[in-house]
Amino acid sequence: MRIGPKTLLLIADGQSATFFRNTASGETISLEPVHSMGLFNEADRELSDDRPGHTQVGMTERRTAYEHRDKHKANETDFLKGVATISDTLMAKFDELVLVAEPQALGVLRQVMQQAVMAKVTTQIGKDYTKTAMPELEALLRAA
């Protein structure tokens, strides 16, 4: 993959996001962090009050459970909305955007990013590279 100097690279999942720019030219990739952000998100069992409640259905003896709202997933979605807001701000200095995100996070980013930012997206990769070391990440992007 070729990443130009005016291309912003976003590597994200539901709990961390890092924006990079390429400082090298041509086929060489040398990434430099532009902005990084993270979220400490506890497990849903720690965030929830209790199990979902139950209710009786009509005059029968049947019972049904209320739907459980996953607060962990809600926190990740809110975090990704913040990532989309920051990317809108950072894109003022860049011409193109490459999205590399865990597949569920990529889906959320597609929904919450501004249309002007999504129009500048040249490549979308549905992989989780947030914990990948820099030399290995650069090699993976060169091979893509």
How far apart are the C-alpha atoms of 23 and 138, rounded to whole Å? 12
- Write out the chain's pLDDT in tens, 144 residues: 788 888 999 999 989 999 999 888 777 888 999 999 998 877 766 656 666 666 777 777 777 766 666 776 888 899 999 999 999 999 999 999 999 999 999 999 999 999 999 999 999 999 999 999 999 999 998 887
What is the identity of the amino acid at 97? L
Tokens of 44: 């849903």
The answer as to whether 119 is a domain residue is yes
Nearest Cα to Cα of residue 87 among 33, 4, 19: 19
Residue 52, domain CATH: 3.30.420
Tokens of 25: 């030219």
The radius of gyration of the chain from alpha carbons, rounded to an integer in Å, stands at 20
The answer as to whether 58 is a domain residue is yes
Domain with 118 in it: 7-16+43-143
The verdict on pTM exceeding 0.85 is: no
The answer as to whether 2 is a domain residue is no
- Number of structural domains found in the chain: 1
The answer as to whether 12 is a domain residue is yes
The answer as to whether 104 is a domain residue is yes
How far is Cα of residue 85 from the mean position of the Cα atoms in its chain?
A: 12
The answer as to whether 68 is a domain residue is yes
How far apart are the C-alpha atoms of 78 and 95, rounded to whole Å? 26
